[in-house]
Amino acid sequence: MKIFYSEGHRQHNPPFEVFDGGERVPYLENPDRMDKVLAALRKTDWAEFAEPSDFGLDPILAVHDADYINFLDSAWTEWLAAAPEAESASDKSAILPATFALRRKPRVPKSFLGRAGYYMMDLSAVIVEGTYKAALASANCALSAAQFIATQVPSTANRPQSAFALCRPPGHHAGKDYCAGYCFINNAAVAANWLSSKGKVALLDIDYHAGNGTQDIFYDRADVLTISIHADPDFEYPHFIGFADETGAGAGLGFHHNFPLPAGTDDAAYLAALDKALELIMVYGPWSIVVSAGMDIYDGDPLGKFKVTRDGIREIGERIANLRLPTAVIMEGGYANNALGKNIGTFLEAMK
């Protein structure tokens, strides 16, 4: 299996994030996650690593607001130029605004901190000096995986070859014009949009958290079917989106589906929801699939409350692979680092 990976992700390494209640904690979405995955995949005899190609900004600007991307590009420089009274460099070690925009048709502020609060949804989308470059490299990994599967031919007899984009930062919480939940550029959405020029595409999100950014980007489109299986936002992040009655708008009405699941969801309950999602994909009839693969569904993940086992993860991969469609797997969450490598390796082995 082709594995697209860039060392550029290491440029994004925030010193902390802020949990509910104001607790400052070490950043959970850290480079160690990739090291654990790399170590596991390098022990296999089927992982073939490749550097991503540089696709430029056009595929990114096709799904993200240009002013938002410009903000990501210039944020660090503007941050250093703002508040020159900071006593030390450590006072500016990370960008985290104190004011966030309620999206009731607000205007984009002129001040840097105002724009930061407009374009940033929460206190886990921490920006540091290398964030933008790392996010670009991550998006290029996803686009390279999409480009690879575009050469594959769907078959009812054999599985087309799939590809894995080992993306960091992840992407599915990033909307058209905002970053959120460790995500800055929506890698899966960028890949799915690129593939949509060749025909209908399905994007299946199996991360523990609802793919709010992906929903935002494709909500009024019919050329990309989007499905998210996740923890019910009534009790889990992102709280404001991901409910079952959100099914698209305009031309996209009926082309988005959420499967919110309760805390404690086990293998059987998860696979039952997955089967319903796969039925929707088969009815839609796409020529390819993009999978937002979050391993935070695993029992014991520090940010999850599901009880999915590694055997369950293997079965999820098997059932997706049995669609026999060209598939680009995009890395999303998963924060039980010591188990992450084995979990994603198990999933990908089932996808081969």
Q: 């390819």: which residue's tokens?
A: 288
Extract the tokens encoding 103: 């999206």
Q: Of the candidates 142, 138, 172, 145, which has an alpha carbon nearest to the alpha carbon of residue 160?
A: 145
CB 165 within 8 A of CB 191: yes
Amino acid symbol at 54? D
Amino acid symbol at 121? M
Report CA Rg, the chain.
19
**Per 3-state DSSP, what percentage of the chain is helix, strand, and coil (rounded to 5)?**
40, 15, 45
What is each CA distance from 74 to 78, 101, 133, in whole angstroms? 6, 20, 11
CB 144 within 8 A of CB 158: no
Residue 137: DSSP 8-state: H
CA distance 205 to 291: 6
Show which residues are catalytic: 173
CA distance 262 to 323: 27
Q: Which residues contact 84 (CB under 8 A, 6 or more apart)?
A: none
Region class of 254: left (phi > 0), else alpha (psi between -120 and 50), else beta: left
201-205 sheet: strands from edge to edge: 48-50, 2-4, 163-165, 327-331, 288-293, 201-205, 224-231, 256-261
